[in-house]
Chains A and B, each alone.
Chain A
Amino acid sequence: MIQVHGLVKSFGLKKVLRGIDLDVGEGEYLTLVGPNGAGKTTFVRILATLSRATSGQVRIGGMSVDEHPTDVRRRIGLVSHRTLLYDDLTAVENLQFYGRMYDVANLEARIEEVLKQVALYFRRHEPVRSYSRGMQQRLSIARAILHDPQVMLMDEPYTGLDQQATAMLREVLHTLAASGRSVIMTTHDLELGLEVADRVAILANGRLDYQSPARELDIQRFCQIYAEQVAE
């Protein structure tokens, strides 16, 4: 579903990504971990068509993100630490706007469905600015899945959430993973990353030198490998 070959991204003279190769299959959940400044967000932004690669190829659903960005956008949903929502609009108004932009069929019914999925249906007519951070993040997930994307990209979705909100978000993400979507999630949280994913990868110094099926690792071993990779 996602193929990345020789991906390089530079900002001026600074190389942030130094030749990334990665394949993510249909329905696969990949967690990408790495320290601050490793290039995780840049990597996700390129997949999401928000930033252009300096060189290399990225294909999603068989389509190049550079050549067919509009078609690629139809297939992806992005959840980041920023909610991408409009504070002055209600949950329903936010979803109506995005639904129209994505040409979602039976929009009102779909909005009701996703709001129930993220447990926000009963506060659907309140402005987003009155929501807690956790609620906003759940609405952000509703926004991202509204058009039923085949690929979910999640960039540090747990940032700024308390324990309760984290647990709730984790539940929502489990449901997403079970629905057969391909998911790439970046996180600092090694334990969480290992728990939810089919495969884990470590991005450090702009390189993706380590990948492994999550079931073959326990948290101690993963922490050890992570420390070695980051130190290199």
Chain B
Amino acid sequence: MSFLRKVGAVAWKDLRAEWRTREMFSAMFVFALLIVIIFNFALELRVENARALVPGILWVAFTFSGMLGLSRSFILEKDRGSLEGLLLCPVDRSAIYLGKMLSNMALMGIVEAFVLPITFVLFNLSFRAVPMLVVVVALGTLGFAGVGTLFSAMAVNTRAREVMLPLLLFPVAVPLLIAAVKLTAGVLDGLAMSEVSRWWQLLVGFDVIFLTLSLMTFDYVIEE
């Protein structure tokens, strides 16, 4: 119980600070929106071929805007000197990791909640697919934020830290992104669960494996 309270305290602190400034949310939302709009105009899609491209466009918007939030997650702590305060706390490092991951995930989730309906309107897609799509997006965001939080902590002590994060994260996140894009396409095409079951397995498997690995290794990553 105490462990969960500490996880909650870390996430609450990050979200509270973000709520005050809305610095990251604004940047992430505008960036994601721009990606969707630029693709919309650049590709001039018709409804029938929109379904084939929207999954890719959505996940480019989600992951690239998510990268902005992830890259600042530990950098802000480091630059303001509060990372040391966090590391001084008598808590298991995994509580810090989970708290940070939850706040990153929440921030990505809020941006996605705004971008998803806008994308559907821009590309003239039916909203019937939305409930299932929410599950795919939640699982994809969990995996991406999970690995991203670990790599963000890893990159914070390097010199080219803002460049380092995408270089570390995207190659590792490739299986997750492929599964998320395939599942999004499947949901938009109205395919049965059985037809895309291997992509569900890959997505859930990625989340379980990488969250476990991240929890196990965070302690070593965050140490000096």
Residues in chain A within 8 A of chain B (CB atoms): 48-52, 70-71, 73-74, 76, 78, 80, 82-89, 93, 97-98, 100-103, 127, 143
Contact = CB atoms under 8 A, between A and B. Distances in A.
Contact of B81 (A83, A93, A101): A83
Interface of B: 2, 5-6, 8-10, 12-13, 16-17, 20-21, 80-82, 84-85, 87-92, 223-224
Question: Which of A50, A85, A101 has the most B CB atoms < 10 Å from its CB?
Answer: A101
Contacts of A51: 224
Given A83-B81, A86-B82, A74 B12 contact: no
Contacts of A84: 81-82, 84-85, 88
Contacts of A86: 13, 17, 80, 82
Given A85-B85, A86-B17, A97 B9 contact: yes
Contacts of A98: 85, 89
A100 to B, nearest CB: 4
B80 A87 contact: yes
Dominant SS among interface residues on chain B: helix
Contact of B224 (A52, A73, A76, A83): A52
Contacts of B12: 97
Given A50-B88, A52-B223, A101 B9 contact: yes
Question: Which of B8, B9, B85 has the most A CB atoms < 10 Å from its CB?
Answer: B85
B84 A100 contact: no
A49 B82 CA distance: 15
A143 B209 CA distance: 37
A127 B80 CA distance: 15
B57 to A, nearest CB: 33
Contacts of A97: 9, 12-13
A80 B80 CA distance: 13
A223 to B, nearest CB: 32
A93 B88 CA distance: 18
B224 A50 contact: yes
Contacts of B17: 86, 88-89
23 contacts: A48-B88, A50-B224, A51-B224, A52-B224, A82-B81, A83-B81, A84-B81, A84-B84, A84-B85, A85-B82, A86-B82, A88-B17, A88-B20, A89-B17, A97-B9, A97-B13, A98-B85, A100-B5, A100-B8, A101-B89, A103-B2, A127-B20, A143-B85
Contact of B88 (A49, A52, A87, A100): A49
A98 B85 CA distance: 9
Contacts of B82: 84-86
A148 to B, nearest CB: 13
A74 B90 contact: yes
Nearest to B85: A84
Contacts of A93: 13, 16
